[in-house]
Chain A
Amino acid sequence: MDQMTIYLILAGVFGLFMAWGIGANDVANAMATSVGSRALTLKQAVILAAIFEFAGAYLAGGEVTKTIRKGIVEADAFTADPNLLIWGMLAALLAAGTWLAIASRKGWPVSTTHSIVGAVVGFAAVGVGMDAVNWGKVGTIVMSWVVSPLLAGTLAFLVFKSIQKLILNSDNPVESSIKFGPIYLFMVGFLIAMVTIKKGLKHIGLDLDTEQAFLYSTLLGVAVAFLGSYLIRKVKTDPKADKKFHYTNVERIFAVLMIFTASAMAFAHGSNDVANAVGPMAAVISTAQSGLIASKSALPGWVLLVGGIGIVIGLATFGYKVIATVGKSITELTPSRGFAAEIAAAATVVLASFTGIPISTTHTLVGAVLGVGIARGIGAIDMRVVGNIFMSWVVTLPAGGLLAILFFFTFKGIFS
């Protein structure tokens, strides 16, 4: 077997393993608010997650993949010896995978995104040289890690305030939720369709101009709104149920509305996180095949397909258990809050995917939950856990980096 074949096999195995890990672990965090608020049964959650994670990864995962693949490193630094990039990206995948395995065994809240970015920066900066890293890009990414939870939090705050005003505080909250619910769904459907059409359909052979994109997104948004409207009208409301808790019926309607935001969340997660697995993999494959850094080369569509399939396998083999555990432990979140948090988080993550910035879905969702909390909508949020989650990247970045450096020099020793 020649070395290129070995590289391809290793890249495939490591990439699939990372995708599997994302499906097994991270999807649960993205779906946690849905299952926790009893909006979905476990089976429904897993099926929806599988469909929309895959769709997100395949249709909208391209931009972030491009960033991980060739945005963080400076292609020029590798033209002399393209092997450095192959070893480095393999090392990055292995490092991120190892770190995630350690962290999840210990129960540490670490992000796949932080691990992989730390790993790629690590091998490039130390293994190759400081000028092998596109520091401007890295700066933008790190800034976005601060901005994304803030943005999601602000959006969640505003969405929840609007739900308060339009629905919860109206004279007839049940009627208002039937009236206004579909409008929120329209926005979700429109946004996701827009991102997909603008960025995702090229590699499956469809190329639409802005006007068409706008038209089709509107159509899809309207279709989603109508479907939602149909479903919430079918919800059986029981006035007696409101005796003890006056908002029981409204929450039942939100539980149905939340099926849509949960799907959006899964789509958003797939679109942003698939890159963590297939970004380095794509870099190895294109370099190994062409023998040089093809900075102009397009991303092969099947790479995203592999990533999407990997995530679904992870979800099917292991992720469903984690989702069940998470669902059981979150009991304090009602559907209306989950709805607000998920709309905000999904919108933020999808926007990041659109611009090609790898962000942490979990951080974004935590930011959104805090936004609802600031609007006085959640009984209790444990700030110590929130603090741990937010601070985790301070450890994860160097950890991913150090492991990547270690593996990089190991590969260099073995293969050269």
Chain B
Amino acid sequence: MAKGGYMSGIFGSSPVSPLQQHMSKVYKCAQELVPLFNAVINEDWGEVARLNQVISDLENEADDLKKELRLNLPKGLFMPVNRQDLLEVLLMQDKIANKAKDISGLILGRHLKLPECIHEDYIRFVERCVAAVKQARKAINEFDELVETGFSGREVEIVTEMITRLDEIESDTDTLQADIFAEIFTIEETLPPIQVMFLYKVIEQTGDIADHAENVGSRLQLMLAR
């Protein structure tokens, strides 16, 4: 007779754990930017090339996770969160990894050097941006607890607190970014113009990492509010 009760079919595969896995992968990917910029400062281009490969691999793995999650989210799924919001969070998470890949590619491709006066500030800036990603991951890691509590009570407060903290980190990175811009502006004349152009671009893209992390948080906040 039957191969199994049909009741089991009503439980779809929950998107929570795949989303968390994707975020972990994205964080691992972004994390590599710190050693990458250290290698840039040391002008160790072999190491930069290696790290570029690591970042690129992690970005690919994150991409695979993203595709898998999307395929497992048919329209007929009834979830505690809006499907569109969930896909947006996923997209934002993915943009972090993409951006990390763009940065490392650009640096390797142009053997971009950082002016000495910004070395220290730049590492602090990158670390802060990666901290924003870490904070976003921390918030996403509360997703299963949110489902457990049915998006209510203290758990919502905890996550809201985390998102507020994430916003603070992001605004730190804005300040650091502005400082670095100012420093470069003062020595701009002494640098080759094309290098300056790309330098500004890399700085902006590094800042984007924190922006995307903040976006992950704000999309998560939308889910809390439903």
Contacts and interface: CB of A to CB of B under 8 A. Distances in A.
Interface in B119-170: 144-145, 147-155
B7 A32 contact: yes
A245 B145 contact: yes
B152 A107 contact: no
Contacts of B149: 164, 168-169, 247
Contact of B7 (A169, A318, A365, A387): A365
Contacts of B78: 370, 373, 380-383, 386
Interface string A19-60: 001001110110011001000000000000000000000000
A25 B5 contact: yes
B46 interface: no
A378 B155 CA distance: 16
Nearest to A31: B5
A386 B149 CA distance: 24
B15 interface: yes
Contacts of B226: 376
A117 B95 CA distance: 57
B79 interface: yes
Which of B1, B79, B151 is packed against the most chain A CB atoms within 10 Å? B1
A325 interface: yes
Contacts of B2: 24-25, 28, 104-105, 107, 322
A376 B147 contact: yes
Contacts of A384: 74, 76
Contacts of B3: 107, 322, 325
B16 A379 contact: yes
Nearest to A168: B149
B4 A366 contact: no
A369 B8 contact: no
A21 B4 contact: no
A379 B7 contact: no
Contacts of B175: none
A3 to B, nearest CB: 31
Which of B4, B13, B151 is packed against the most chain A CB atoms within 10 Å? B4
A160 B79 CA distance: 16
B9 A104 contact: no
Nearest to A333: B11
Interface of A: 21, 24-26, 28-29, 32-33, 36, 101, 104-105, 107-109, 160-161, 164-165, 168-169, 245-247, 318, 322-323, 325-326, 329-334, 336, 362, 365-366, 369-370, 373, 375-387, 389
29 contacts: A21-B1, A24-B1, A25-B1, A32-B7, A107-B2, A107-B6, A108-B6, A164-B149, A168-B148, A168-B149, A245-B145, A322-B3, A322-B4, A323-B5, A325-B3, A325-B5, A329-B4, A329-B9, A330-B8, A332-B11, A336-B148, A376-B81, A376-B147, A376-B226, A378-B11, A380-B13, A380-B15, A380-B79, A382-B78
- Please provide the 5 A-B residue pairs with the shortest distance between their CB atoms, ordered closest to farther: A379-B14, A169-B153, A325-B4, A380-B12, A376-B80
